[in-house]
């Protein structure tokens, strides 16, 4: 330690920036100066530069129920199911049922409950950020008990901000939608950078269509499947540019008819693979156990190119997936796609498909059940927001 003390501060920062995160947490206790250095935005940026090309994809599970003793438990593993860390949220899970976790290729994850409460979490630093209620939620809270609202989470590179986007569809009890409110909440990725608006901002431009399913963020743009005012699916994609905060609609292409069963367009979902917007149709596996994956080649013309046909019949224990909604969710590297399934009796496996060899690989893990499932990139930077007082950011309880 005496030799380290003789090194210049820049040299110490360069050395520490290359160390694992667990070591950095221990080294915060060495001295006040080291604690200040490791928490400083300069060091966070320096470490991000070193780690950007070698960031590791982590899987995340948000578990709630009687088996968590009234707590919300968050478990992070590597892509082989090895436990990285586990921590929990204080409070009664019956008052905080996690409804959805949004998969992301960022350092933060976003999830919410059925009361419209939205949270951001950095699983690496075990910090949590509670967002205030959107204005549309505060005035129309009873509407949020219906499925007619949707949240998107993504990153704006031009502003270096994370953004949470809420679309709230207003309608009569049995009538068509008569308005869609869009609100945005910005969270700076670094402290003291980019002054954010104090709370949610209502976007003047209206969303062109009601949307269905979860949003996917690709190159600073959120994408949803579109529907009509009665929530019948449309063969179209609605997008929201996080930099310009503008909506657009991808036009219909005749190729869509090839990838969709008649009147079953709601079985087409959007996903990000290889930094590109892709679509897949998970209806066909009910008949022939295959899933088609398509890539959007020309957004303006709505042109698609079929990339892969995944034959689930070649999987281990393929029969148990006959009644499950089974689909690819992310690219993990080494030519592999991570597959996920809903409606499976024992959801304790990770299934991978190799796009080059067309082979499947199954990893048996002790996955929490029931649990919301997603992924994130491991990083050190904690979530910061100039729109919230710092007291709202809490450390989670390490188990």
Q: Which two tokens stand for residue 199?
A: 């709370």
**pTM of the predicted structure, to 2 decimals:** 0.75
CA distance 34 to 221: 38
Core vs surface per residue 17-26: b (16+ CB within 10 A) or e? beeeeeebee
Instruction: Output the pLDDT for position 259.
Output: 60
Predicted pLDDT at 192 = 38
Assigned token pair, 308: 């892969």
Residues with Cβ within 8 Å of residue 11, at least 6 apart in sequence:
none
Q: Where are the domains of the chain?
A: 2-47, 55-398
Task: Specify whether the CB–CB gap between 353 and 165 falls below 8 A.
Answer: no
What per-residue string of b and e applies to 203-214 under the rule 16 or more CB within 10 Å gives b?
beeebebbbbbb
- Model pLDDT, residue 99: 74
Cα R_g (the chain), whole angstroms: 22
Q: Kindly list the averaged pLDDT for each block of 10 residues, start to end, along the chain of length 399.
A: 53 76 78 79 67 69 66 83 81 61 80 80 80 65 51 86 85 56 83 52 86 85 80 76 93 66 61 84 63 84 84 72 64 82 58 89 71 73 43 44
CATH level 2 (architecture), domain 55-398: 6 Propeller (2.120)
pLDDT of res. 154 = 92
Rounded Cα distance between 271 and 292, Å, is 13
The pLDDT assigned to 204 comes to 86
Give the residues across from 395 on adjacent strands.
127
Backbone CA torsion sign across 73, 76, 79, 83: negative
pLDDT at 184: 94
Q: How far apart are CA 179 and CA 125, in angstroms?
A: 39
Residue tagged 């008819």 (tokens): 257
Question: What does the pLDDT read at residue 189?
Answer: 66
Which residues are paired to 161 by β-bridges? 156, 188
């Amino acid at each position: 330690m005496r030799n380290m003390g003789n090194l210049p501060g820049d040299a110490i920062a360069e050395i520490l920036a290359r160390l694992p995160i667990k070591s950095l947490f221990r080294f915060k206790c060495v001295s006040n100066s080291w604690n200040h250095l490791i928490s400083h935005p300069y060091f966070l940026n320096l470490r991000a530069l070193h780690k950007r090309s070698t960031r590791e994809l982590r899987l995340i599970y948000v578990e709630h129920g009687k088996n968590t003793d009234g707590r919300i438990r968050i478990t992070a593993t590597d892509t082989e199911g090895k436990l990285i860390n586990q921590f929990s949220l204080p409070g009664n899970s019956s008052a905080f049922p996690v409804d959805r976790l949004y998969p992301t290729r960022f350092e933060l994850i976003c999830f919410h409950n059925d009361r419209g409460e939205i949270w951001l979490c950095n699983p690496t630093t075990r910090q949590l950020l509670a967002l205030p209620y959107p204005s549309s939620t505060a005035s129309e809270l009873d509407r949020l008990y219906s499925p007619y609202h949707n949240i998107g989470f993504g990153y704006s590179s031009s502003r270096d901000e994370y953004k949470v986007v809420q679309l709230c569809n207003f309608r009569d009890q049995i009538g068509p939608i008569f308005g869609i409110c869009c609100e945005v909440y910005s969270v700076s990725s670094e402290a003291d950078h980019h002054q954010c608006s104090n709370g949610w901002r209502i976007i003047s431009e209206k969303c062109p269509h009601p949307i269905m399913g979860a949003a996917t963020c690709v190159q600073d743009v959120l994408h949803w499947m579109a529907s009509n005012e009665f929530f019948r699916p449309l063969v179209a994609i609605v997008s929201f540019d996080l930099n310009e905060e503008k909506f657009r609609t991808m036009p219909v292409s005749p190729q869509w008819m090839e990838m969709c069963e008649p009147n079953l367009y709601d079985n087409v979902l959007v996903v990000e693979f290889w930094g590109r917007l892709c679509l897949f149709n998970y209806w066909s596996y009910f008949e022939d156990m295959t899933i088609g994956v398509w890539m959007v080649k020309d957004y303006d013309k709505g042109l698609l190119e079929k990339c892969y046909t995944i034959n689930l019949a070649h999987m281990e224990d393929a029969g148990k997936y006959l009644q499950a909604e089974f689909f690819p969710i992310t690219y993990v590297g080494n030519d592999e796609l991570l597959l996920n399934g809903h409606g499976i009796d024992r959801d304790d496996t990770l299934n991978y498909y190799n796009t080059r060899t067309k082979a499947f690989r199954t990893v048996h893990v002790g996955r929490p059940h029931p649990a919301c499932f997603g992924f994130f990139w491991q990083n050190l930077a904690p979530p910061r927001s100039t729109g919230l007082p710092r007291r709202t950011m809490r450390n989670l309880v390490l188990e």
